[in-house]
Amino acid sequence: MTSSPLASRTEPSMAGKALLLTSAATFMAFLDTTIVNVAFPALHEDFPAESVTNLTWVVTSYGILFAALLTPAGRFADILGRKKLFLWSVGLFSIASLACAVAPNVGALIAARAVQGIGSAGMIPAALGIVLSETPAEKRSEAIGMWGAAGSMAAAAGPSLGGLLVSEIDWRAVFILNIPIGLAVILGAKSLPNRPVEKSPLPDLVGTATVTLGIAGVVIGLTKGGDWGWDQARTWIWIGVGVLLIAYSLLRSRSHPAPAVETKLWGTSMFAAANLTAFLLGAGLFVWFLSGPLYLTTIWHYSVLKAGLAVTPGAVLSAVAAISVGRRLKPAQQRPVVIVAAVVFLGLSIWAYSGLGSDREFLALWLPYGAFGGAAIGAALTSVTTAASISVHPLKFATGTGMATTARQFGGSVGVAAMAAVFAAGDLSTPKPYRDAFLLAGIFIAASAVPAFWLFTKKSMAQIAETQQQIQAYMRAQAAAAQAAATSPEGSATADRS
């Protein structure tokens, strides 16, 4: 595939720097989706008057804003500038982390966590957009694997790192950790180059508001349905209104000159398939990540820290697989990756369903199940992210990333709701509901193999190659025009004044 001029002029050192900084920000964003869970007992000790239901909003408020704003954040990153949105988002996330650390009550903590979610939503699409624009086309798959590894490590390392910080220091240390990392990322990212942005007016504000509120409504209904009850009207009101708002925004986006959602991207079969695959992978991933530590702490009576360490091999193998797929396989060679990974994960899930019980069999059962399961998911996520990224115009890298990540987070919410229903139907003091959850994760992951058949097809890859050639010709023309303007007397005078 022909390199994009956006990346061909990038020095290798700048590409590596961009990958390092954006991976650090991505690590923070995904770490905070899981690390706070283990702080619940400590939070309850500090705020004994608060109900468990209120405390759950410390986690929920972050997840809702994170999921709801990913799609519009991607659009704004491509239009306003990825570097600009990235810096502002990391700054907002860092300030919100400080507010969380000094929160005097649960209400203030929930509000600060919501702001953290807003910052995370801006960081993720802008981060991968920066990586893709700074990396030559032939190296993008490798870069995506390394960037994705940061997210995989963070999501799985959250319980062990959070348990260590809470037990040895205080729950506030969970948030203080983000501040020096955020400051270092901001200082480093200031030297990243400003790349061309999409020449488009700001996205439709009405459409942006409705899609954001719609996603938030569905996520709230799915997330809180287990607490409120699936037979309660408010659960389905939230979901129903959310679906209607999303549908309205999508219909409005189809004809709007500056759409809130780039629905035209779904006209590319590979991008549409990548979104659906990401949705199903996200559903299985969230079920797997959440049910594992619960099983270990409840049935095997592990401490939170020990349970976190027990799932760490899966995180490590997930990162290794993500990097290996990105480094060793070109995009055209990655078509079977998701399908094979899905079949392997389903086999592991059936094995765990039939073998895991009350007896602690870490080496014989849990370690291979967790390690190879993590490797399968890491490999699959890298291929899906690669497919979504290479099937969009370089000036829409952040938009495509935001939409694909939204699909994954949205799938995660559906998976968690399904897991809650499984748990509600069983006795959580016995292994059965946890084994059911492991099987549920396997079914979701296995289902992702179906849309994966439309990834990296010969027809799709030919279309992408043709598009890249058109983009290269366009960018050469733009560069020539800019050079001509700069060498003309009028252009020189403008340059001197600027």
The two structure tokens encoding residue 328: 């060793």
Segment 433-462 shows an average pLDDT of 90
* Confidence category of residue 448, pLDDT binned at 50, 70, 90: very high
* Confidence category of residue 274, pLDDT binned at 50, 70, 90: very high
- The domains found in the chain, sorted by start residue, are 5-191+260-483 (1.20.1250.20), 206-259 (no CATH)
Exposed (0-12), middle (13-18) or buried (19+): which is 476, by Cβ within 10 Å? exposed
The percentage of the chain sitting over the pLDDT mark of 70, rounded to a whole number, equals 88
pLDDT of residue 156: 65
* Confidence category of residue 79, pLDDT binned at 50, 70, 90: confident
Query: b/e per residue, 351-361, with b = 16+ CB within 10 A?
Result: bbbeebeeeee
For 287-318, the pLDDT digits (tens) are: 888 888 889 888 999 887 788 788 888 888 88
Distance (Å, whole) CA 379 – CA 381:
6
- Residue 291: how many other CB atoms lie within 10 Å: 23
For 16-48, the pLDDT digits (tens) are: 888 899 989 988 888 887 777 777 667 877 888
Do 265 and 125 contact (CB within 8 A), yes or no? Answer: no
Question: How far from 175 is each of 120, 124, 184, 448, CA to CA, in Å?
Answer: 14, 19, 15, 34
For 214-226, the pLDDT digits (tens) are: 988 888 888 788 7
pLDDT of residue 320: 87
Q: Name the CA radius of gyration of the chain, rounded.
A: 22
